[in-house]
Structure 1
Amino acid sequence: MDSVIIPTDRSGDIAFYLPFPVEVPYLVDVDKILFFSYPTQTFAAYENGILIYTGPTNMGRKKDQTPTGLFFTNWKAEETISTFDDEWKLLWNFNIENKKGVGFHQYDLPGYPASHSCLRLLEKDAKYLYKWADQWVLVDDENVKFKGTPVIVFGSYPFGKPKPWLQLVENPKALTIAESEIEKVTEPYLETILKEQEKRKKS
């Protein structure tokens, strides 16, 4: 049997209960960026360093782990069919890795990494990100003129070990993602992110 952890005070906005920081000054020059945390199974959207949206996600299972690193949103579709099983309908799908078919979309969240590499979301969250993120702009079928919104997938999940959030019973801040961690995972990619952002602005 699994466990359910309920905060004693539920009067605040969901952002105060999820692990991402509400502000990251390091991101002040980044117009839009989306983060997915593997260990906490949560995501966060920022605009110029301010958290504007956050929620839960379930990512790739041990056998089919979600790739980590920097990606950009590519194409989107309100409904598409999974490349793993043609009976699976993926709603509000936004692709981030075209060749591997990885994207974020609405699908059931069992509460742990269970997907075939994609990033599952609640329907309301999938709809929000579907409208919020930018698509790529193509020159032709083979070449990208402008990339979409940057997406960073980071961290690792302790497969085969107790679920990370069970630590919250002993330490309520066990899963907190510090501003410094966001800066650390972004720093290797910041130059690329700003370069691609400038290209789009000049279009």
Structure 2
Amino acid sequence: MKKILLTTFMMSMVTALNAGHFYGTALCAYPQYECIKVTGGQSWEKLFPDPVQRDIVQRVNRTYNYLWSGREIAVPKNLANINIFDVSPFPLKIQSENEKQIIVDQEKLAWGAYDAQGNLVWWGPISSGSDKCSDSNKVCRTLTGIFRVFSKENVRCTSDVFPIGRGGAKMPYCMYFHKGFALHGSDDIPGVRASHGCVRMFIQDAKWLNENFVELSSERNNFMGTKVIVRPLNDSENKK
């Protein structure tokens, strides 16, 4: 029962979180968390030697980036007794659509993978497109809607566009769902929307999706690649 309540809490509180600030900082106002301020010399590994607990805290904070002195991070108070699904921002079960799908929620800064029976298989943090590009005056928001993965590459995937004028930005385990928009791994998941429009995720998550979950169009799936649903901003409560 405690785990069910915690999951429900995680889903219901996202409307109070502002994606314009570091995601984890907003959790500090909730009693289920204690927040710690990083001091000089501390790192993820030093703060959380247990790799499973470290992974949970990183996912809760939507980042695994380098920790600097003064950075505040949220830590579940019952960290030793929970698993990744207990802090999921997605429901553990949705109505079955008889096909697997990936849901990208920009308000929650998270993605969730559901099997054909509607069960949540895994989830993780994202960083989607920012309101304004860091290297131009253009809007860099991620395209929203329902798409299908039509192409994917391995760890050597790179951008043909960014950096502007050169290309070559690393996009390991990229999975394209509309023109140049892709899900891909990145070592920069800062806990805010910061991409040029693609959906960044932890590299290990992109690898798992690419190699074990996402399918391209084939006779086996009626020539429809894996479904990707990118929810628009301020639409997190329009649940499946």
Normalising by the residue count of structure 2, what TM-score does the alignment of the two structures yield? 0.59
* One of 152, 157, 167 as aligned partner of 2:229: 152
Aligned partner letter, 2:98: V
* 2:226 counterpart of 1:120: no
Other-structure match for 1:13: 83
Identity of aligned residues (%): 28
Once the two structures are TM-superposed, the CA of residue 103 in structure 1 deviates from its matched residue by 0.4
Counterpart Cα distance in 1 of 2:232 and 2:97: 24
CA RMSD of aligned residues (A): 2.1
Provide the rounded CA distance (Å) in 2 between the counterparts of 1:123 and 1:95. Answer: 16
Higher RCO (CA < 8 A, seq sep 6+): 1
Structure 1: segments with no counterpart, 5+ residues: 139-144, 158-176, 184-203
Structure 2: state its 5+ residue gaps: 1-69, 132-138
Distance 1:30 1:133 in 2: 15
Q: Distance in 1 between matches of 2:217 and 2:71?
A: 41
Query: Where does 1:122-201 land on structure 2 (aligned, <5 Å)?
Result: 122-131=202-211, 132-137=213-218, 146-156=223-233, 181-183=238-240
Match in the other structure for 2:162 = 84
Distance in structure 2 (CA, Å) of the matches to 1:42 and 1:74: 22
Counterpart mapping for 1:86-101 below 5 A: 86-97=167-178, 99=179, 101=180
Per-residue deviation at 1:18?
2.4
Identify if the C-alpha distance between structure 1 residues 30 and 2 changes in structure 2 by more than 3 Å, giving closer, same or farther: farther
Query: Is the Cα–Cα contact under 8 Å of residues 145 and 232 in structure 2 kept in the other structure?
Result: no
Aligned-pair distance for 1:146?
1.7
Which residue of the partner structure matches residue 68 of structure 1?
Answer: 144
Count of residue pairs brought into register by the alignment: 153
Which consecutive segments of 4 or more residues in structure 1 shift more than 2 A?
A: none
The letter for the 1-side match of 2:181 is V
Instruction: Kindly provide the CA deviation profile for residues 77-115 of structure 1, in whole angstroms up to 9, marking residues without a partner as x.
Output: 112221222231211011011x3x000111110111010
**Aligned partners of 1:106, 1:66: CA distance in 2, in Å?**
16
Matching residue of 2:183: 104
Deviation at 1:137, TM superposition (A): 4.3
Q: Distance in 2 between matches of 1:66 and 1:56?
A: 15
Cα distance in 2 for partners of 1:155, 1:40 equals 11
Q: Secondary structure at the match of 2:120?
A: strand
CA offset at residue 182 of structure 1? Answer: 2.6
User: Structure 1 length as normaliser, TM-score?
Assistant: 0.69
